[in-house]
Structure 1
Amino acid sequence: MNCLSLNCRGLGNLDAVGGLRNLIRREAPAIVFLCETKLGSRDMNKIISKLVGYKGVSVDCVGRSGGLAFLWREEVSCTFRASTVHFMDFDVEHEGMTWRCTGFYGWPAVQDRHLSWRQLRLLAAEGGGPWLCLGDFNEVLFSTEMKGGTRAQWQMNNFRDAVDEIGLGDLPFEGYMYTFDNGQEGLDNRQCRLDRAMVNEGWRDLFPYAKLIHLDREWSDHAPIKVVFDGRNGAELRGTKKFRFEHIWVGEDGCEEAVRAGVGKGDGELLGSIEGCAKELVEWKGISIGRILRELNKKRRYLKKLNEGDRGPWQVKERRRVVGEISQLLRKEERFWRQRSRAIWLKDGDRNTAFFHRKAGQRKRKNFIAKLVDSSGRVVDNTAAISACAVEYFRNLFSTDSPSGIEEAVRG
């Protein structure tokens, strides 16, 4: 299970909405908190309705700023507590555990920042047991959480005093420290850690292996943050991949030539032509369409480097170019998941990648062995132990300690 939080900086254009859908598809969060949607509830609810498998509520923006949304997967139970234009508060129940989750958006103006800390204290006074509070606090705790610019010490002190008083502390995080970048060049560039996830001791006891991951910025000037409830690494069993013709190959340079070459190797035989096509497409895929998903990962790694460090004119321009190329690749990736889902009754223009990925993910989960119980009743959940348990089971199934009547069985 994991939770996601992002300052969207507006969801009024298709690229931002597409980026959000792709982010949710990639990370598969159980809970999502969004701030600065800059949308009214009606428009935000339209976006939520196309995220298949999710429910959600939203808070209207004020003029052209603000706007919040809180989303959760259907299998998670979320009970509304309260909300304003600066927070959304829920009780969460999942897999027998109950805890409190608050999405928080701090006052952006310095002169109003004291209202953020007052609001946090009021929320803490309501109690509620294990508590996770995440979002954009619009403030840093320490000067080391800034790169470029200055900040008055009293601002940071007030934030620290508030969270110390109410018993909230940071989760350990991974990734680039600064979650916000103003996108300016050179000496005008400002980076800081405004987005964070804080928990009380009760929540930390409930999820002792939890950690926070700072994901990479794409269309927003804020990085998404993801709370992983169990940060321990798991294991997975993988089989040999079958050949499948991918719909995203159609129209790509080289695809038609590969098919023609494959048909020519069949010598007029249907099965031979099919085999020939498969072989030619596999070879072509390695140097052509197969690069689409690899290129997406490559560009995200490059974007990660551009998101870090100083901001010269070239770096700002290059980042915009890379973000545009990522958007184009995401459209191709959407077609890929559409075919994998086998849900071909939806139109190509629905742009509902989350639904397609969920359908494909359901099939993958059916074929995935997460754990087994061995002959001694012990649960095993790592790759080597699962393999050994399966081999032992079938060896015992097809053998016996004292076989008898073998000759009769052989003679029939």
Structure 2
Amino acid sequence: MNNFREAVDDCGLREVAFEGYRFTYDNGQAGNDNRQCRLDRALCSDEWLNLFPRAKLIHLDREWSDHAPIKLILSRKESTGANRQKLFRFEQIWVGEEGCEDTIRSSWNDDEDLLATLARCAEGFQKWKGVSIGKIMRDINKKRRRLTALNEGGRSVTEVRERRKAVKEIANLLKQEEIFWKHRSRALWLKEGDRNTKYFHRKACQRKQGNYIEKLVDADGREHVGFEAISGIARDYFL
């Protein structure tokens, strides 16, 4: 360890400031057998720190591994997106949820126009809501806050057992998140269980960008931009 510190000093490196629980390693044992220490860190030069003065190292929560993942953030990004009315979509994660089939039965009518029946189903689902990605993320965040408290707490047999339970619950929620983004991405050639959530999310974002209409040209050859103007041209075209 002394040799490591000397090498760091010789190279003129310094540690990036971190946030979160101070220890990044835990052997997962209970009671007096438990060992914790900070093994994982980020080092940088003064020149690098001048380029990224707002850099932060985040100690994330340990889940399956003995080591806590660390995340280097170079700067804080601010959201600049504009809000639009969201279209209704049936989510794959609703299948099998209690109340999903009942919602369809109560809304469906074979004697009525199909479009009207589908619209009533959509209205029924919006009232029922079921499992949404927002709820999944809120539950994940809630479970991870609990996991943070357990990681920083004691190491009794009961607490270690409770931590393992929390890890399993988070894994189940992450599975639901993966299914959601897979459905949105339309990347059906990948099997569920691959835990490719970031890939599915990226594909969904690519689809959203590809579906985005920047402008439309009306019958007189004039270009129109903006949500209201584009919506008006599309509506007039099909009416």
- CA shift at 1:365, angstroms? 5.8
- Which one of the candidate residues 59, 63, 82 is aligned to 1:214? 59
Q: Does 1:289 align with 2:131?
A: yes
In structure 2, do the counterparts of structure 1 residues 193 and 342 end up closer, same or farther at CA, with 3 Å as the change threshold?
same
**More strand per residue: 1 or 2?**
1
- CA shift at 1:348, angstroms? 4.0
Q: Return structure 1 stretches of 4+ with deviation > 6 angstroms.
A: none
- CA shift at 1:300, angstroms? 1.8
Where does structure 1 lack aligned partners over 5 or more consecutive residues? 1-112, 118-158, 369-389, 395-412
Report the equivalent of 1:336: 180
Q: Distance in 2 between matches of 1:191 and 1:348?
A: 35
- CA shift at 1:342, angstroms? 1.8
Q: Distance in 2 between matches of 1:210 and 1:244?
A: 38
- Which one of the candidate residues 84, 97, 108 is aligned to 1:263? 108
In structure 2, do the counterparts of structure 1 residues 347 and 183 end up closer, same or farther at CA, with 3 Å as the change threshold?
closer
Q: Distance in 2 between matches of 1:351 and 1:174?
A: 27
In structure 2, do the counterparts of structure 1 residues 199 and 351 end up closer, same or farther at CA, with 3 Å as the change threshold?
closer
Please tell me whether the aligned partners of residues 258 and 284 of structure 1 are also in contact (alpha carbons under 8 angstroms): yes
Q: Distance in 1 between matches of 2:114 and 2:139?
A: 35
Report the equivalent of 1:320: 164
Please tell me whether the aligned partners of residues 215 and 226 of structure 1 are also in contact (alpha carbons under 8 angstroms): yes
- Which one of the candidate residues 7, 28, 31 is aligned to 1:186? 31
- CA shift at 1:303, angstroms? 1.3
Report the equivalent of 1:196: 41
In structure 2, do the counterparts of structure 1 residues 367 and 294 end up closer, same or farther at CA, with 3 Å as the change threshold?
farther
Report the equivalent of 2:219: none
3-state SS in 1 of match to 2:41: strand
- CA shift at 1:189, angstroms? 2.7
Q: Percent identity?
A: 54
The residue type equivalent to 2:126 in the other structure is V
Please tell me whether the aligned partners of residues 178 and 191 of structure 1 are also in contact (alpha carbons under 8 angstroms): yes
CA RMSD of aligned residues (A): 2.7
The residue type equivalent to 2:93 in the other structure is I
Q: Give per-residue Cα distances to partners, 1:297-318, cap 9 Å, x unaligned.
A: 3212221221112222211001
3-state SS in 1 of match to 2:58: strand
Please tell me whether the aligned partners of residues 262 and 275 of structure 1 are also in contact (alpha carbons under 8 angstroms): no
3-state SS in 1 of match to 2:43: strand
In structure 2, do the counterparts of structure 1 residues 292 and 168 end up closer, same or farther at CA, with 3 Å as the change threshold?
same
Q: Distance in 2 between matches of 1:364 and 1:191?
A: 44
- The alignment covers a number of residue pairs equal to 212
In structure 2, do the counterparts of structure 1 residues 233 and 348 end up closer, same or farther at CA, with 3 Å as the change threshold?
closer
3-state SS in 2 of match to 1:195: coil
Report the equivalent of 2:94: 249
3-state SS in 2 of match to 1:227: strand
With normalisation by structure 1, the TM-score equals 0.47
Q: Does 1:278 align with 2:136?
A: no
Please tell me whether the aligned partners of residues 210 and 227 of structure 1 are also in contact (alpha carbons under 8 angstroms): yes
The residue type equivalent to 1:204 in the other structure is L
In structure 2, do the counterparts of structure 1 residues 346 and 282 end up closer, same or farther at CA, with 3 Å as the change threshold?
same
Please tell me whether the aligned partners of residues 186 and 311 of structure 1 are also in contact (alpha carbons under 8 angstroms): yes
Please tell me whether the aligned partners of residues 61 and 69 of structure 2 are also in contact (alpha carbons under 8 angstroms): yes
3-state SS in 2 of match to 1:177: coil
Q: Give per-residue Cα distances to partners, 1:198-225, cap 9 Å, x unaligned.
A: 1011211222222111111111111111
- CA shift at 1:292, angstroms? 3.5
The residue type equivalent to 2:106 in the other structure is A
Please tell me whether the aligned partners of residues 20 and 58 of structure 2 are also in contact (alpha carbons under 8 angstroms): yes
Please tell me whether the aligned partners of residues 189 and 311 of structure 1 are also in contact (alpha carbons under 8 angstroms): yes
Structure 1 residues 112-131: aligned runs within 5 Å: 113=1, 117=4
Q: Give per-residue Cα distances to partners, 1:60-109, cap 9 Å, x unaligned.
A: xxxxxxxxxxxxxxxxxxxxxxxxxxxxxxxxxxxxxxxxxxxxxxxxxx
Report the equivalent of 2:153: 309
The residue type equivalent to 1:247 in the other structure is Q
